[in-house]
Amino acid sequence: MQTFNLKPLFPDQSVQISLFQNVTNAKELKELTTEGILQGCLIDGSLILDSFHILTAVNKALYYQKLGRMKTKSLYSEILFNLSPTNKINESLKTFGINEMTKKIIAVVLKDDLNSKVIPESVNGEIVGLENLEKIIDVERIKKIYRLEQNEEVTVEAVVTRMATKDVK
């Protein structure tokens, strides 16, 4: 579990990111977050390269919230949406969100929600450091989602570029 301050754009905001492996209650966690009982964003851990990948989506979601231009109904679904290289909301949520079979989960909780029902305490799984992300990523799936060439290296720069350029018209 790591906490990141979002300076300079959002100096009063921080985000806690936790990585879990061998999760056995993904279905329950998805239901609890969908119902708003758990406040946070649950991401399929096999699709995230490092913390910068997530922090890019978080900052973009907070920025669009500040402008009143979010495309989804909540800040946490906006984070999932911003991880995607496409503008298809449902596809983004299905791709980056968890499902009942997800075993590797990243939990993202903003500072304002740290006192609500806490996600890390609700997860039946092993919490590990974010440095373990490189061991659990699904390179082929990431290449497909972000439309990387077969000979193109999977880097956070390549992925974040595709996330950022989806808004360019």
Tell me the pLDDT band of 151, cut-offs 50, 70 and 90: confident
Tens of pLDDT, residues 42-74: 999 999 999 999 999 999 999 999 999 999 999
Q: Tell me, which fold does domain 2-165 have in CATH?
A: PF0523-like (3.30.2380)
What are the b/e assignments for 75-102, b being 16+ CB within 10 Å?
A: bbbbbbbbbbbeeebeebeebbbbeeeb
> CA 16 to CA 4: how far, in whole Å?
6
Task: Kindly report the pTM of this predicted structure.
Answer: 0.91
User: Contact 111/15 with Cβ under 8 angstroms?
Assistant: yes
User: Contact 144/47 with Cβ under 8 angstroms?
Assistant: no
Tokens for 95?
A: 């791709």
Integer-rounded Cα Rg, in Å, for the chain is: 15
Tens of pLDDT, residues 78-115: 999 999 999 999 999 999 999 999 999 999 998 875 55
SS3 for 107? strand
